[in-house]
Structure 1
Amino acid sequence: MNHESTKFIVDVQPGTDFNNLPVGTTPAESTRDNVRNLPSVNAIRATWQQASAEVMRNAMRDIVSRPAIITRDGIDIFRPGTLGMIQGRHGSHKSRLAEMFCSLLLADNPRSENYAGFERYALQRFRVVYVDTERNTIDEFPRSIQSIKRLAGFSENADVDRFHAVPLKNVPRRERLAAVQDVLKFYRETSQEHLVLVLDVATDCVANFNNESEALALFDFLGQQCEASDATILMIIHENPGSDKARGHVGTEAWNKAATALQIGYQGENADILRLRYIKLRHAKRPADIYLTYDQERRGLMQTTAGESDKSKYSLDEFIDAIVNAFDGKEAIAKPDLFTILQEKTGYKKDTLEVKISDIINNRIELTDYTRDWTACHLEKENTRPITYRLTPAKAPF
């Protein structure tokens, strides 16, 4: 090896004069570009020192959490200053669920039965901004705006001063995040109420929803905006076709960063009943599923008991959910423990459980467990004493 001809990459800092590097050293071209684009060391240090001082001051006082903006049965569903998400397949009424939450926040005296049992914090007023990237501005998005106003108790042609609709369909994709930032900045500067922004849909704010770097940048931005604008942001995301997973790296990162994640979809083969699942609640144990139906006359979602489980007619999806919930984040569970939990939940006899569990294992039916880094998994049987069941990763995320 000719040491005299070796070029060493140096640890260059912002502000480095590349013409005065020591002999025998050279920065990579990418390093040159990165350094040029970095803020100065002093600016970086000032930023983190200021943030550190602020959080240390906050930690020295009594900490009182702000009330949740939306609750159900006394459980916090959406807390202020957090990210939330709604995921579902095409045609699963994701947007209508978001519309219902908007109406609830805008209504003067909302009755929970009109909003599927959800309630808003009564001692605070909210400013709701609905950002849409998909629907046209001639009839599709205007119809949604009318629905939100009507469900909130206003007439369809009323001017609701705390409600704003912002279409971004005609804004170039590369400019949409800047537009969202400006929307938040504008309404923060011109109003005092807590901001609630719906982003429908989040994947339209990146060029490639399967690009990890773009997904990370999107959620860094949204998380920062929650604090900078004192806002709660509710994202709507499509699911991958034939899967329960939200689309691409954006969907994965959305679930990681969201404090609350909801999934809505049709219940089994019953085309009229929708099941609303709490797939993630950072601040509480996940409640039971809610069953909804679309009311044509009201043009909105209504709670129904029609989808609640008849133990003699337990759907495959419900049975799979019961298995996942039985694991409760554990790596493995003994057969007697699993069967006891499932019998209490489903009412099935032991022989029936044997058959159904064997079918799931033998047919390699995919289960979804949102408590793990890998959400798609398979159920495996280990012939130990006693017999043990285990959830294992089904495949890589993408």
Structure 2
Amino acid sequence: MNKNNKELDEQIEHELTMQYIQENCHIDIDKKIEHPPVAFSYGTKEVETIDGLKHFPIPIGTYGNFSFIQAPPKSMKTFFVSLISSCYANSNCQYTGEMDSFRGDRHLIHFDTEQGEWHSQRVFRRVKQMNPNTDLKKFYHTFALRQVSYKERIDFIEYYLKNMVSEEKKVGLVIIDGVADLVSDANNLEESNLLVQKIMTWTTVYDCHIVTVIHSNWGSDKPTGHLGSFLEKKTETQIKLEFDNLTRAVVVSCKRSRNGAFKDFVFKLNERALPFIMPTIEEF
């Protein structure tokens, strides 16, 4: 291929890309667009409507968006992920209190990037322990990606989501426990920006909600690095965990949200080391 033909092909490809963006990103201000459906929530709010007083779920995450959990190391982030997973698997889970979910026939996909096979399985099996009467194998997909490179992790997540759709399966909730392991350096500006853009693309293309987990900086209320900063700017909900050494309990709070903030709640571990949401925060 000579230089002129290559330049022409690149020009045509660019033109087609711009046309695609124009068609798919244009917003008609007169068109009624429904609020994104809720993936999972905590608590309800009362709203006065023309049909009287109604209760609506307070979203933690909606389909087509992403949220992230931040906390210092050893703050029981993975146990909180188990609460979210268990609630999404079964909205009537006895451990999850006022947390609710709206899964329908969608699938739950859980990627752990930090732990080896044994520890990852222990986390995934916890969801089964919390929902013994739910057939998780029908919709719960679990992967430990520690052994592959950060680029391969990104490629595999995208590959798996694409395959789910090709198999006519609806993607619902995607958990990435260890989002910083999808970049070589959480302080790399370009990589962090590209990853967050990739996450936003996945939520849009696959109409799913993605929950990511990232550490907080030591002695700071900020999530780690440039990656944490980009997540803060683009997220639907920023969830903060605070572990209390004295009571061995974790306070879950909404640091930021594009929706109404959910109220603080507390979870602890029971005698079987299973997390449960306490009925009232006053008991904390």
Scaled to the shorter chain, the TM-score interval is: 0.7 to 0.9
Q: 2:234 aligned with 1:265, yes or no?
A: no
Deviation of residue 271 (structure 1)? 4.0
Question: Any idea what SS the aligned residue of 1:40 has?
Answer: helix
In the alignment, does 2:194 pair up with 1:217? Answer: yes
Q: Tell me: CA distance 1:117–1:52, structure 2 relative to 1, closer, same or farther (3 Å).
A: same
- The alpha carbon displacement at 1:60 in A equals 4.8
How far has the Cα of 1:220 moved from its partner?
A: 1.0
What is the 5 A alignment of 1:165-314?
165-267=142-244, 270-284=246-260, 286-297=261-272, 299-303=274-278, 305=280
Deviation at 1:72, TM superposition (A): 1.9
Match of 1:143 in 2: 122
Cα distance in structure 2, aligned partners of 1:66 and 1:305: 29
1:153-173 alpha-carbon deviations (Å, 9 max, x no partner): 437xx6621001011111122
2:264·2:281 contact (CA, 8 Å) conserved in 1? no
The C-alpha deviation readout for 1:258-282, integer Å capped at 9, x for no partner, is: 1011011214x53412111101111
Aligned to 1:72, the other structure's residue is in SS state strand
Amino acid at match of 1:115: T
**Other structure's SS at 2:222 match:** coil
2:204 alignment partner AA? E
Q: Which amino acid aligns with 2:15?
A: R
Secondary structure in 2 aligned to 1:262? strand
Identity %, equivalent residues = 18
Give TM-score, length-normalised by structure 2.
0.85
DSSP-derived class of the 2:262 partner: coil
Is the 2:36–2:64 contact (alpha carbons within 8 Å) kept by the matching residues of 1?
no
- Deviation (angstroms), 1:208: 0.7
Larger gyration radius, structure 1 or structure 2 = 1
Sort the Cα spacing of 1:67 and 1:164 in 2 relative to 1 into closer, same or farther, 3 A: same
Question: Contact conserved, 1:69 with 1:78, CA < 8 A, in 2?
Answer: yes
1:135-180 deviations in Å (ceiling 9; x for gaps): 111x21111111112223437xx66210010111111223221111
The answer to whether 1:85 aligns with 2:68 is yes
Residues in 2 aligned to 1:178 and 1:277: alpha-carbon distance in whole angstroms: 32
Q: Which digits, 9 at most, give the CA deviation of each residue in 1:54-88, with x for residues without a partner?
A: 34476553222232111222212110010110111
Pick closer, same or farther for the CA change 1:59–1:44 going to 2, 3 Å: farther
Q: Is the 8 A contact 1:106 1:126 kept in 2?
A: no
Aligned length: 268
Q: Structure 2: which amino acid aligns with 1:114?
A: Y
Q: Equivalent residue for 1:337?
A: none
Distance 1:106 1:95, change over 3 A: same
CA distance in 2, matches of 1:88, 1:192: 33
Tell me, in whole angstroms, the C-alpha distance in 2 between the residues paired with 1:142 and 1:134.
Answer: 12
**SS, match of residue 84 in structure 1:** strand
Paired with 2:217 and 2:76, the residues of 1 have a C-alpha distance of 16
Q: Which runs of 5+ in 2 are unaligned?
A: 45-57
Quote the residue 2:32 is aligned against.
Answer: 62
Change (3 A) 1:229 1:67: closer
Conserved in 2, the CA contact under 8 Å of 1:105 and 1:126? no
Mark the runs of 5 or more structure 1 residues left unpaired by the alignment: 1-14, 18-34, 310-398
| Amino acid of the structure 1 residue aligned with 2:77 | K
Q: What do residues 204-239 of structure 1 show as CA deviations (whole Å, max 9, x unaligned)?
A: 010011111110011111111112222211101011
Closer, same or farther: CA 62–159 of 1 in aligned 2, 3 Å: closer
- Whichever structure has more strand as a proportion of its residues is 2
* 2:160 paired with 1:160: no
- For 1:115, the equivalent position in structure 2 comes to 96
Scaled by the length of structure 1, the TM-score of the pair is 0.62
